[in-house]
Every structure is written in structure tokens, then in C-alpha cells.
Structure 1
Amino acid sequence: MVTLQLLLLSAFSATVHLRTFFIIEPKIVSMPEAQAACKKQYHDLASVYNDEDNANLAQFLKRNQKAWIGLYRRQFSDKWSNGDDVTFSNLTGVCGSGSCCAAMKADGSWESLNCTEKRNFMCYEQDVSKQKRFYVIFENMSWYEAQSYCRKNYTDLVSIRDQNQNEAVKIEGLNSSTSFWIGLLSDDWVWTDGGHFAYRNWATGQPRLSSDCAIMMNTTSECGKWYSVPCSNAESALCYFSNTTDFSPTVPDGLNFTEKKIAYMTEAQAPCITNDTDHIIVYGDNDNAELALKIESGKKAWLGLCRGQSSYKWSNGDDVIFSNLTGVCGSGTCCAAMKTDGSWESLQCTEKRNYVCYKQDTDLIFSYHLILDSMSWYEAQSYCRKSYTDLVSIRDQNQNEAVKILVMTSNTSLWIGLLRDDWEWTDGGRSAYRNWATDQPECYKTSPHNTAHGEQGHEARPGKNNSNIPASRSLDLLRIVCHIGVV
């Protein structure tokens, strides 16, 4: 039995951040007026540096909600992905009337291409002594995808300041069979605060030539994509503030100010760690039900679940030392189902399938049980844990063959206990138990700092988990649930 302790944080000072994001609601008449409101309260409309900024801003928006960001159409200009001044160019030709990106050819000249074309690309990495190393990536991506890849794995797409650097990049890129992306973007979009940021996250088919201001919107399939719209539209406003201390923003007349402020999740974790514990880790329905009893109706509390790297985990916590998986189900959470030939397919975990449970006796002998009752993977996990030991895990080819014999009697693939998602417990635990509310977790995959909280609702489904909170964002006062021991 897990003992729980409930800690209430009564006050917090804001953690030092270079920029803090806010939203002003309801709708404001136009983009210029939205900028004026942001400037009056904070600094400006939000400019977006990278994927993480974009994900944090998207957290403010409900599904299908729109809000201004600080991007608008002006005259064409060149900009390097990393923000360097454009002091050198070897560009020939233009790609057309829209956005263009530069690719280096074998002779060291640059060609101007549509940024959505697929090309190899070159990243650079800069060490503390400001020395640069160049890396050719032999994987075809759009310029925007290449930018994201370089920023995640190195420093950025390569920028070139002079002829010497151009020669160095040319030599490194000689093994590419086609021209390869470098970090130069040419478009007619600029940030209201004057920033030279070449990050773009346009939705498919955007931007439109007839519209000169940019909004961010969450849809049912994508989060945080940008759309060009007329500057006279009425939308909410995403703002930012640059400061290293607390501040008290003012609220202009006639506007509702939305600032959801308290501890960041990393701050909320501190009282747990101080007591030689950590946030609560939920291993099953019993843990979840007991946790839900500790939360008042309508209240929320941090769980120790954060977005991290996508990884595979067995339902029972076994190490993943064997796999027979083919394909992927998409960019989100996937679960494995065994087919009649013994291979595993990757499916959406909410699909309905028959499944295989296992029971382990005191002599560590396993018995397998085919359940002919179509359920989601999560429902199957719950059933197996209540009636047997767990969904089956498979450690080697011999176990795979034993489970395959059961599967051969089914006319569809069967759930096994393998889950792939990008959620991790703060104490390093490998619990694959999830109890997400409907439409959760939300699709903010790009942010590495999303966290989960438990919520006690007014309906008969307590303890559902929600993911719509970034660890770096201020929130309404949330209670903290710490794990303080096992008795």
C-alpha cells in the first residue's frame, strides 16, 4: 500500500526566466491593438525562437482557439537560422514569390529553393571556445524539419560568414549527391520586436499571399501551427515579458487578463525531494483510486509524470530486451499487438482488440491466457491485472513462440503488454500505467517540459490525468502529492 502526503503550496516567487509568456483574452479588435495591449502590460506580442517556445505558447490555447503572435508581413529579407547577421552571400537565382531557402551546390554556390523541398542538410556544433564543427546529415528533410533536427541534436543549421567558411562547408558537403540545406531563409515576415528569428511553424498551405499577420491555433490534429490572416481579425493575444524578477502586470480597461500563476512543476517537486521522496508514481488502479480520494472534488494535483524521450516499456516493468515489432502507428502513443505469424504490429492504444494475459505463480512459472473480449490496451491492462498478473511481456524468441500459439486461434492481432510513449516518471520508475482523461494527453510533443496532473472531477470517474500543463508555466495553485514510503 502506498502512503500519500498532501502538501499545499501557499505562495511562490516566480523562477528566473528570460521570457515569460501570457495570454490576453477575450478577443481584441486587431493585431495592432493586440500589440498595443501587450506593450502596455508586458513587452510585446510573442516572438517565437524555437520548438520549445512554440509548444509553451500553444499550451495557452484551447482546441480551435486562435491568438495573435508577433509576426507580420513586410519586405523580403534574408536571415540565418541562428540569428547571425547576413554578412556574406553566394546565392544565385530565386525560387519564386514565396519563402525560399538556400542549398549549397557542389561548386560552393548556393541555389534558392522552395523550403518544403526535401534535401540533405548541414548542421554545426559550437563549443565553449566558439569553434564550429560541421556535420552533413544524409537524410532528406524540408528546410524547417532540418532546422528542428539540427537544433535538437547540434547547435543549428550552418551559417556562413565569409568565403573561408564557405569553402570549409563546401569541402564537408562534397559527399552529398545533391545540393544540401544551409541555414539561410528568405521571406517577407518579420517580428514586431525586431528579433531576427528564422523559426517558422506554418500549417500546410500557409502562409497565404493575401493575409499579412500571423496567428497560432490548435486544431484536433495539430498543436501550435501558424496561419496568416487579415490583420483586422479579432483574436486573443499571446504576449511575452522579459524580466529576471517578479512583477505585477497591469490590466487595460475592458480586457480580461488570464494569468495562471503558481509553482512550476520542477518547483513543486522540491518539497517532495526535501523529504527524501518524490512525486507520486502511479502503478495501478488501486494506487490511482487511493490518490483520487486525497484530492478534493474539482481540485488538481501534480503527478510525477513528465514528457521526455519516446521509449518502449512493458506493462509489468520488465526490461525491453526483445522485440519483434514492425512499423509505427504514428507520432503519438502506440501499443503492440501480436499477429498470427508472431510478428508485432504497432497500433493506436484505443483500438479494440482481444488480448493475452499471463499469470505467474510462486515458482515463477508462467501461464498464458487468451481473452476473447475486445478492449483498448488500457482496458486490457486493467483486466489482466485484476484477474491474472498483467498483460503478457515477452523476453525472448521462445516466449514469443509460446504466445504465438495462442494468437493463431484468433482472427485478429492480440494486445500484448508493450507500450510506447514519451512520458516518464520523475523517480525513474518504469510504470506503464496510464489513466488519461478523454482527449488526453494533448499533442504538445515538441515541448520536453510537459507534465501531468491528477484531477478529481464531479463525475464518477475520479483521478483522471491531464497533460495540458507545461512544467515551465505558472498555474493556478496546485497541490503536490508526494510518495513517502511503502508499508
Structure 2
Amino acid sequence: MELDTVFITLLLAVIFSWSAPHPFEYVQKSMNCTEAQKYCRENYSDLASIRNSADVNELMKSMNGASAVYGVWIGLIKTLRSEWKWSLGDPAFYTAPDSLYHNWASNQPNNAQYNCTYMSQDGLWFNADCNNQRSFICYNDSSKGFILVQQLMSWRSAQSFCRANHTDLSSVRNHSENQQIQQIMNTGGVTAAWIGLFRDSWEWTDKSKSSFRNWAPTEPNDIGGIENATVFLMSGGRKGEWEDWPCSAQFTFICQDQFILIKQNLSWSEALTYCRQNHVDLVSISSPQIEQRVMSVARTASTAAAWMGLHHFCGVNVWLWSRGDVVCYQNWAAGNGSGSHDCREQRVGAVLSAGDQRWLSLPPTLRLNFICSNSGP
């Protein structure tokens, strides 16, 4: 029986229903933010980073109804750098150059204290006081379109409105989108409108590129000039919003798991690109201990197997991990991973989601779920 036929048979045999895991783990130990990060890095991957509103909801689920807790540490810390970022902070929304497009007017940005951006009717951008009242442009991911809202709001209020009613304040990823928004403004007779570009000095401890922020009103306020870490609120009317606190404060905290199952069906190369853009890499397995954690994640896949970072270097008949390491520890299914292959037929590796969960050697064009890693070697 051909390998592809075997795989299809396995695919049809997966009849179990699993709930998808969330990447967050609640740790019921009170620590300062430095101790919490050390604990997460030793036992998981890092303190939690948050990419979008869906992650906010997933994090709250990970608390298992612990509503009596005031708040928990997440991995957002204040740095000495101040950079321009988009409110729609999910890195998956951008390709490499998209988050770098700017169309500043001459001599803009011109004030280090003005941290929000509006577009003028001629399509040029200006930085301004975030408390100014302006119309604004929302982005709706369902319609893939821009929406002009002719209500006068501060930048933060406009952000909240867009998130509640659409997806977020608009990003402007290229000249074409800039022209689209300019035309919408001119049609609506609006001379200036907030867009989603803002400046701050906060970064995620795992170096995630997410610029998503969900600060509570008036936050961050840096009381005493020492509030350099972030608490995710878990009680009251501001549940899910964030406050800045001194790192020396004691809170329980949220870690993020090192391995994340992505329930999209992609080819191996597409999965590799996704993991490198949104996490660190496709997963590598170097020990039985790591394999047990990967197997636990793989069991929830909606496909019969999930891509790992394995690929076959046919010239010397050796298997490599995508980060460049030679495969030492291995757990191949019978007939997979050994012997020579026709070098015209590239092979890559996946882990079965059911049964003994051994590894398969498969064509990279198959479309499977895949497992990303949130940490480097």
C-alpha cells in the first residue's frame, strides 16, 4: 500500500473529538514580575503575550473562573525605547514590509509628547495629542473594508468603539490602502480622522511583535514613575483590561505554553512561514520529555497528523530540524524516516494525532494542522 494511501486511511480513522487547547496557563503563585517571568521561562515558555481580542478571551478562560483575583501579570514591560505601532497588533495581519509603511507629512512626527496619528484629507499623517476629539476610521475584518465614523472621540475612545463594533482602528499597510481611506474621508467631507498608529515604549518579554494593547481608561499612568509592568484585570467592570504596576508588586500570573497547535490546514512550507512570522519556528523535538508535551498538543489536531519542523536533506540522506539541528532523538512509525528516498520526492515530518503518535514522512504539499514553538533553541 502506498504511503499516501496509508495516510488517507489514518485520516479517515481519526474519529475522536477533542477540544482545542489554549496557549495560556494560570499559575496560582504570587510573585513579583521578575520572579514570575523566571518561573514561566523555566516551566513553560514565557509570561503571556497577547496578539488580539481573541487572546484576551482565551486568557480569561485559562483562569477557570477565578473571578476573585484582582489581576495577573502578563509579559508586557516598559522599556527605554519608544516606537510607532499599529493598534491592530496581530502580526499575522502584516507581511514583512506592511507594518513599516508610513506617509508622514513634512516635519512629522514633530512632538515627542504626541503619541497618536490622524490622516488629513490629502492623505498625509500627523501626530497629535491622543485626547483631541476627531472622527476616525475603523477596519472590519469580515468585510475587509474601512469604515468612516463621524463621531468626535479621543484616540482611545475611537479604538474602543472600533473594537466593539468592527475589528480595530484602521491600519494602513500600503499606498493603495492610504488612497482608499483618503477617498472615504473626502466623500464623507471629513478633513482629519484618527487611524490606528500610536507610539509607546512597551514590549513583550518573549520579543513578540504584537502591538495589541488593551489598557483600561487613564492607563498606563505610571504613578510615582515606577510602574513598568502590566497587570491583566480579572474582576469588576474592567475585566480583560490592563493596568501598569510596579514590578515589585505581588500577583499571580499567566504563562504561555511553549508549543501551540495551529488549526489551519497549510502545506509544510506555509506552516513554516506562519510559525516564523507569528511565533518562533515549527516545533523541534530533542528529548522524550519534550515529545510528551508535543504529543499532548498534537492530540487535539483536526487532521490525522500535524507538521513538525522535520525535513529530509536528501543529498546526504539526513533528517534536519527547521532550525538547522540534525535529528538525534526520533520516534518514527514503521517504514518512515529510514532508508533512501527518491530525491525528486521531497519528504518532511509530521506527528500522528492519534494512536501511538509516532512520526510520519510525508510529501510537503499535504495540508495539515501544525505545531509552532514559542521559544528558540
TM interval, shorter chain, is: 0.5 to 0.7
**Distance across 1 between alignment mates of 2:152 and 2:52:** 21
> Which residue of the other structure, out of 214, 218, 221, is the alignment partner of 1:201?
214
User: Does residue 227 of structure 2 align to residue 214 of structure 1?
Assistant: no
User: Does residue 35 of structure 2 align to residue 33 of structure 1?
Assistant: yes
Which residues of 2 match residues 96-115 of structure 1 at below 5 A?
96-97=112-113, 100-115=115-130
Contact 1:47 1:195 in 2 (8 A): yes
Question: Which secondary structure state, in structure 2, belongs to the residue aligned with residue 177 of structure 1?
Answer: coil
**Distance across 2 between alignment mates of 1:124 and 1:225:** 21
Which residues of 2 match residues 71-470 of structure 1 at below 5 A?
71-74=76-79, 75-82=81-88, 83=91, 84=94, 85-90=99-104, 92-94=108-110, 96-97=112-113, 100-125=115-140, 133-151=145-163, 153-174=165-186, 175-209=188-222, 210=225, 211-241=227-257, 242-244=259-261
CA displacement at 1:225 relative to structure 2: 2.6
CA deviation string 1:87-132 (max 9, x = no partner): 323152355537x22111122221223334443221334679xxx5
More strand by share: 1
1:9 matched residue in structure 2: none
The amino acid that maps onto 2:209 is H
**Distance across 2 between alignment mates of 1:154 and 1:66:** 27
CA deviation string 1:387-412 (max 9, x = no partner): xxxxxxxxxxxxxxxxxxxxxxxxxx
Question: Which secondary structure state, in structure 2, belongs to the residue aligned with residue 187 of structure 1?
Answer: strand
More helix by share: 2
Contact 1:120 1:176 in 2 (8 A): no
**Distance across 2 between alignment mates of 1:62 and 1:176:** 46
**Distance across 2 between alignment mates of 1:35 and 1:27:** 12
What TM-score, normalized to structure 2? 0.53
**Distance across 1 between alignment mates of 2:136 and 2:173:** 18
| Structure-2 change in CA distance of 1:55 and 1:117 (3 Å) | farther
Question: Which secondary structure state, in structure 2, belongs to the residue aligned with residue 201 of structure 1?
Answer: coil
CA displacement at 1:68 relative to structure 2: 0.6
Q: CA RMSD in A?
A: 3.2
**Distance across 2 between alignment mates of 1:48 and 1:117:** 28
Contact 1:119 1:178 in 2 (8 A): no
**Distance across 2 between alignment mates of 1:95 and 1:202:** 23
CA deviation string 1:131-158 (max 9, x = no partner): x533212233443443454455545432
Contact 2:86 2:212 in 1 (8 A): no
CA deviation string 1:307-346 (max 9, x = no partner): xxxxxxxxxxxxxxxxxxxxxxxxxxxxxxxxxxxxxxxx
CA displacement at 1:66 relative to structure 2: 2.5
The amino acid that maps onto 1:87 is Y
**Distance across 1 between alignment mates of 2:142 and 2:245:** 41
The amino acid that maps onto 2:59 is L
2:311 matched residue in structure 1: none
Question: Which secondary structure state, in structure 2, belongs to the residue aligned with residue 202 of structure 1?
Answer: coil
Contact 2:134 2:193 in 1 (8 A): yes
CA displacement at 1:160 relative to structure 2: 2.2
Question: Which secondary structure state, in structure 2, belongs to the residue aligned with residue 173 of structure 1?
Answer: helix
The amino acid that maps onto 1:111 is F
**Distance across 1 between alignment mates of 2:129 and 2:73:** 26
**Distance across 2 between alignment mates of 1:62 and 1:153:** 26
Contact 2:33 2:249 in 1 (8 A): yes
CA displacement at 1:170 relative to structure 2: 1.3
Q: Please identify runs of 4+ aligned residues in structure 1 that moved more than 4 A.
A: 125-128, 151-155
**Distance across 1 between alignment mates of 2:140 and 2:217:** 30
Question: Which secondary structure state, in structure 2, belongs to the residue aligned with residue 181 of structure 1?
Answer: strand
Q: Which structure 2 segments of 5+ residues have no match?
A: 1-15, 263-288, 290-377
Q: Which structure 1 segments of 5+ residues have no match?
A: 1-11, 251-487
CA displacement at 1:46 relative to structure 2: 1.4
Contact 1:95 1:114 in 2 (8 A): no
Question: Which secondary structure state, in structure 2, belongs to the residue aligned with residue 244 of structure 1?
Answer: strand
CA deviation string 1:423-443 (max 9, x = no partner): xxxxxxxxxxxxxxxxxxxxx
**Distance across 2 between alignment mates of 1:63 and 1:94:** 45
| Structure-2 change in CA distance of 1:20 and 1:13 (3 Å) | farther
1:301 matched residue in structure 2: none
**Distance across 1 between alignment mates of 2:176 and 2:42:** 46
Contact 1:78 1:86 in 2 (8 A): no
**Distance across 2 between alignment mates of 1:185 and 1:25:** 34
CA displacement at 1:64 relative to structure 2: 5.2
| Structure-2 change in CA distance of 1:217 and 1:158 (3 Å) | closer
Equivalenced residue count is 230
The amino acid that maps onto 2:250 is A
Question: Which secondary structure state, in structure 1, belongs to the residue aligned with residue 207 of structure 2?
Answer: coil
